[in-house]
Amino acid sequence: MLVGCPKEIKPQEFRVGLTPAAAAEVIAHGHKVLVQTGAGIGSGFPDNDYTDIGAQIAPDADSVFDDADMIVKVKEPQAAERKMLRQGQVLFTYLHLAPDPDQTRDLLHSGVTAIAYETVTDRAGGLPLLAPMSEVAGKLAPQVGAWTLQKANGGRGVLMGGVPGVGPARVVVIGGGVVGTHAAKVAAGMGADVTVLDRSLPRMRYLDDVFGGTFKTQFASGTNIAEQIAQADMVVGAVLIPGAAAPKLITKAQLSTMKPAAVLVDVAIDQGGCFETSRATTHQDPIYDVDGIMHYCVANMPGAVARTSTIALGNATLPFLLALADKGWRQAIVDDPHLRAGLSTHEGILTSPPVGEALNLEA
């Protein structure tokens, strides 16, 4: 099979679908790899990293889309890319079709067999191809929050770990899933005093078992959230209700109860945000002030650390990619119902019931 990897064209996207290490494994399994020139540059992988392990370099996207049996990407195909997809070809990438009727229509029209990273499942009921990006965003949250806390950036001028004789910053993390746990670990590692609030008792039992002593847990009732945010220097929003918009857990009126120039980092902004005053920002202009409270709400946080994110994503996608290449997509999804959960479109048929429901289409 010829596995093709085009350069991402979505603005500010520096990740690449195939690392040289992953490409080497694909080649070791007897397949060919075709990478568009410059595809890996944003993640620190020049063309010769790919040619060194036996991949071929294509001069443009057309050559990759024309020749490849399977296209491996990061972001959903943009309109120009969708025109190059065809029946008989497999597309393996993030799709996020539910809010995107134009893309869904184009994929159906192309006939491509599209498998979405974000709906592939695992035995524990998790989303193994989404988790690496949540890990990255979670670990970044205290880092960007600490920067925002600096006086020159509008924050309270509080150091995360304090110094001898001066106490640490108080960090409150709302949502103790993948993002929240990684955020809490890093904030605690920086020396902050950290509390994680969640509504899931099993999750808090797990966090307490594993991290008791490193950070505290508390049930996410409205009263507890109100008490915690009044004392916080930084609040990280990390909740998720699968398939739904994030609940608004801090209102605009509550901002006046917070310490002046405290910082809100809303990681859940890609699901609409969990603070009433959140609106999506970009890496170019990441923070803004509402009523004296600094907000950081970048919707694609992993893009800030494209190299780490690319490698983390590649580690997670590789076993699925090898199964698709070795067995062909039909046998691969018969053998693995978790990969089957990613199948979204095939030869003009929508195969994802949740997407059908969201877009009012037959699936």
Residue number with CB closer to ligand NAD (68 or 235): 235
Among 3, 172, 239, 325, binds ligand NAD (CB under 6 A): 239
* Catalytic annotation, pick one of 66, 67, 69, 96: 96
Residues forming beta bridges with residue 234, ordered by sequence position: 171, 263
Using left for φ > 0, alpha for ψ between -120 and 50, and beta otherwise, residue 18 falls in beta
| Interacting span for ligand NAD (CB under 6 A) from 44-52, 188-196, 243-251, 326-334 | 243-251
Number of residues in contact with ligand NAD, rule: CB under 6 A?
Answer: 32
- Out of 106, 266, 270, 336, the active site residue is 270
| Residue 208, number of CB atoms within 10 A of its CB | 15
Residue 302 CA, distance from chain mean position: 6
Task: Report d(CA 338, CA 305) in Å as an integer.
Answer: 28
Q: Does 203 bind ligand NAD (CB under 6 A)?
A: yes
Contact window for ligand NAD (CB under 6 A) among 11-19, 20-28, 232-240, 331-339: 232-240
Residue in 61, 137, 258, 262 binding ligand NAD, rule: CB under 6 A: 137
Give me the residue whose beta carbon is nearest to ligand NAD.
177
Stretch that binds ligand NAD, among 103-111, 165-173, 235-243, 287-295 (CB under 6 A): 235-243
Question: Interface with ligand NAD includes 179 (CB under 6 A)?
Answer: yes
DSSP for 212-276?
A: TTTSEEEE--HHHHHHHHHH-SEEEE----TTSPPP--B-TGGGGGSPTT-EEEEGGGGGT-SBT
User: Measured between alpha carbons, how far is 64 from 140 in angstroms, rounded to an integer?
Assistant: 33
Angle between helices 201-211 and 178-189 (to 10 degrees): 30
Task: Please identify which residue in 267, 294, 311, 355 interacts with ligand NAD, judged by CB under 6 A.
Answer: 267
Beta-strand relationship, 216-219 and 193-198: parallel
Could you confirm whether 326 is annotated as catalytic? no
Residue 134 binds ligand NAD (CB under 6 A)? yes
Least Å distance between CB 24 and ligand NAD?
Answer: 28
Given a contact cutoff of 8 angstroms between Cβ atoms, the answer to whether 89 and 24 are in contact is no
Which of 116, 174, 293, 311 binds ligand NAD (CB under 6 A)? It is 174
Considering the rule CB under 6 A, would residue 269 count as an interface residue with ligand NAD? yes
CB of 270 to ligand NAD, least distance (A): 4
Q: Is 270 a catalytic residue?
A: yes
Alpha carbon 220 to chain centroid, angstroms: 24
Phi-psi map region of 261: left, alpha, beta (phi>0 left; psi -120 to 50 alpha)? left
Per CB under 6 A, 197 contacts ligand NAD: yes
State the nearest-atom distance from the C-beta of 3 to ligand NAD, in Å.
Answer: 26
Q: Give the contacts of 203 (CB within 8 A, at least 6 positions apart).
A: 176, 177
Least gap, CB of 237 to ligand NAD (angstroms): 8
Q: Judged by CB, which is closer to ligand NAD: 154, or 175? A: 175
Q: Judged by CB under 6 A, which of 271, 277, 278, 309 binds ligand NAD?
A: 271
Q: Is 152:174 a contact under the CB 8 Å cutoff?
A: no
Which residues in this chain contact ligand NAD in the complex, by CB under 6 A? 133-134, 137, 174-180, 197-200, 203, 220, 238-241, 246-247, 249, 267-271, 299-302
Task: Provide the annotated active-site residues.
Answer: 96, 270
